[in-house]
Amino acid sequence: MTDPKAPILPPPASPMPPVADRQVDEREVHGTVLTDLYAWLRDPGYPNVTDTAILDYLKDENAYFDAVMKPQQPLIDTLFEELKGRIKDDDSSVPVKDGDYVYWRRFEPGAQYRTWLRRPVNGSADEEQIILDEPKLAEGLDYFRLRSAVVSPDAGLLAWASDTDGSERFTIRVNVLARGDQMPDEIPNTSGGVVWTAAGDRFFYVELSEQLRPFRVKLHKLGEDPAEDAVIYEEQDNAYFVGIGESQSRKFVEIGAGDHVTSEIRLIPTDDPFAEPLLIAPRDPGVEYDVAHAGDYLFIRTNDTHKNSRLARAPVSAPGRDNWVELEPGGDHRYLRGVEAFKDFLVLSERIEGIDRLRLLFHKDGEITGDHVIAFDEDVYTAGLGENPEFDVSTIQVGYTSMVTPSTVYDFDVGAKTLTERKVQEIPSGYDKSAFVTERVTVTARDGAKVPVSIVHGKDFKRDGSQPLHLYGYGAYGLGMPPAFSTSRLSLLQRGFAFAIAHIRGGDELGYGWYEAGKLMDRKNTFNDFIDCARALEDLGYAAPGGISISGGSAGGTLMGVAVNEAPELWRAAVAHVPFVDVMNTMLDDTLPLTPIEWPEWGNPITDKAAFEYILDYSPYENVTPQPYPPILITAGLSDPRVTYWEPAKWAAKLRATKTDGNVLMLKTNMGAGHGGKSGRYESLHETAEEYAFLLMAFGLV
């Protein structure tokens, strides 16, 4: 490993990095003048980006990235082949029964996208039928993403939704499966979700506003003009997004409205689509709930009396809060994350002291008659329900993984209470689990909080600071980072890295309170936890001082921005994917599609001076200062609707103009994709190979 203090300079033959123009943009908020020299990088016509000066700057940054990385192209090619070699070329999902058919997905050799298939339950291989051919649909496109593919109740039609530019505006189309052709029905500008009516002649979907907000549920009748589709529900509050789903029983379409902390659900019988939507309970700020249906009852998970959620029951005929009967109270050490209802049992997704647990509750006439916990062998792992389309079943599919165990699909026999392995992720180039070790350490943060860190490394890894460590974090929206397996990560582990995930506050690894302790006016706990974890890992010998590389994306990019601002000496290199770094300006702009729904997460600096001052104190873009920074790789997507392209672009421009070191700084903007980067199972690996080559450069391992 190279000297952590040695700078990482661009190759001698590289061109000078682009220098963005400065144009003063000032405004006063709560008595403070905000000056933004790079606000011009936002095209006023967004989401259409046509300003030639902006496009030229982004292209210049891409050219600079290409020039700096060109000497590493052999390494990038090697890494790409490694990554690709760990993916089974002709991989298939585990077939699942749904009615008269068994359904599965398959990658043909060399294909970037999946082929969707089915056959009769008792049919032979000769009777398999292609119901959706993604490779054919993606032909000639730079980007293709399938959002949903839903078979009608009579199994005769398939409604599917796709996005072809990364904007997350999905178009719904319908295939006639017996003929293999497409109906003329075509509905653009949707969120992509589809729920069929019981009769199969109509389906529900959600329309997007001009600002990309899912706000209106509509009902489409096959063969009719979508412009005439009936409006079933319209949300008036810009801070609430609307979504639809179907109960496991298939008796109801569920219409959900909510922000990040409050939810409200309405039910419509799938056999009576024009019925008045049945409101379960009106929205109550800070209260979330979801429902699962079985028989005459709804089973309700809610945080109304305990932040870690309780389980209640209500009759379908009278589901209001006054009729909620508690089945299990909330608990400080048991976090109830979800509930799914099958005919004779519920499956509870729980987390106990940060570890996943699946528990079955058997029910009859609304009463709980027994329970069972599905046991797994490892101490730290990730587990959840798999694909289970049917309601009346005696076997359920379960997914499992850990930092050293490839993704595994099990069938769980509910009566016998046994697990049967159906599929283990195959790694064609080979994988020896015994060559790696996973462990969990607990770090005491500066305020005394106990922060778990999951680590994986080679069995021969030396905890003497002589080997590199990569640290990953997110810490937002209550999205805990699972200790899961990654085939890509092996390219780092096999080169001597340890890989760690810091389960910092802002996620929900240790319960809903863990999430609350990292949001709004406690957001800085997230950043402090991450930095404290890094310092503790140094003390434990996992890395030398300055010998840690870091990465995070989206809201995890906020984390990266704060980390390099506040503790630049800790990091050997930083990778920020589509980073949310312009927090202040974005939260001040209520015309952006995500801003109003984000205020419960970040705070509203428009109306709340305290929130304004708090965000201003940490927002990465505002807090770039003249100091040495580590080498940084930043990515962006031109059509990204979540973290708009100008956030990473402005940040890169300001960093380059302000920092005092000679370390390389690169911005790569994907000009034909959005928040998730390139589509296709192999195309995205090129970007991972580039990231890993950058990290290896940083540690002198090239």
Structure tokens at 640: 């990204």
The string of DSSP letters for 267-309 reads: EEETT-TTSPPEESS---TT--EEEEEETTEEEEEE-SS-TT-
Residue with tokens 């400065």: 22
Instruction: Report pTM.
Output: 0.93
Structure tokens at 249: 């029983």
Taking only the tens place, the pLDDT of each residue in 607-653 is 999 999 999 999 999 999 999 999 999 999 998 787 899 999 999 99
Known active-site residue 554: yes
| Catalytic, out of 260, 470, 675, 686 | 675
Return the percentage of the chain with pLDDT > 90, whole number: 90
pLDDT, position 672: 73
- Every domain of the chain and the residues it spans: 89-130, 141-287, 290-425
| Catalytic, out of 133, 640, 679, 686 | 640
Known active-site residue 191: no
Residue 683 vs residue 493, higher pLDDT: 493
Q: Residue 317's Cα: distance from chain center in Å?
A: 36
Q: Could you tell me the pLDDT band of residue 4, with boundaries at 50, 70 and 90?
A: low
Residue 23: is its pLDDT beyond 80? yes
What is the C-alpha R_g of the chain?
26
Residue 477: is its pLDDT beyond 60? yes
The whole-number average pLDDT for the span 535-548 is: 97
Q: Is the peptide bond before 628 cis (omega within 30 degrees of 0)?
A: no
Strands 297-302 and 310-315: antiparallel
Q: What are phi and psi of 3, to 5 degrees?
A: -60, 120
Is the domain 141-287 a CATH 2.130.10.120 member?
yes
Taking each helix axis from N to C terminus, what angle separates 73-85 and 683-698, rounded to the nearest 10 degrees? 130
The string of DSSP letters for 598-658 reads: HHHHH--TTT-HHHHHHHHHH-TTTT--SS----EEEEEETT-SSS-THHHHHHHHHHHHH
pLDDT, position 682: 86
Taking only the tens place, the pLDDT of each residue in 383-433 is 999 999 999 999 999 999 999 999 999 999 999 999 999 999 999 999 999
- Average pLDDT value over all residues in the chain: 95
Taking only the tens place, the pLDDT of each residue in 331-375 is 999 999 999 999 999 999 999 988 999 999 999 999 999 999 999
Residue with tokens 């989206």: 554
CA distance 151 to 99: 11
pLDDT, position 592: 87
**Is it true that 141-287 and 290-425 share their CATH fold?**
yes
Q: Could you tell me the pLDDT band of residue 5, with boundaries at 50, 70 and 90?
A: low
Pick from 114-118, 406-410, 680-684: least confident: 680-684
pLDDT, position 180: 87
Residue 349 contacts residue 338 (beta carbons within 8 Å): yes
pLDDT, position 586: 97
The whole-number average pLDDT for the span 547-551 is: 98
| Catalytic, out of 167, 247, 402, 554 | 554
Residue with tokens 């029983």: 249
Residue with tokens 């682009």: 18
Known active-site residue 675: yes
Residue 14: is its pLDDT beyond 90? no
CA 210, 211, 214, 216 torsion-angle sign: negative
pLDDT, position 681: 81
Taking only the tens place, the pLDDT of each residue in 199-225 is 999 999 999 998 889 999 999 999 999
Architecture of domain 290-425: 7 Propeller (2.130)
pLDDT, position 3: 64
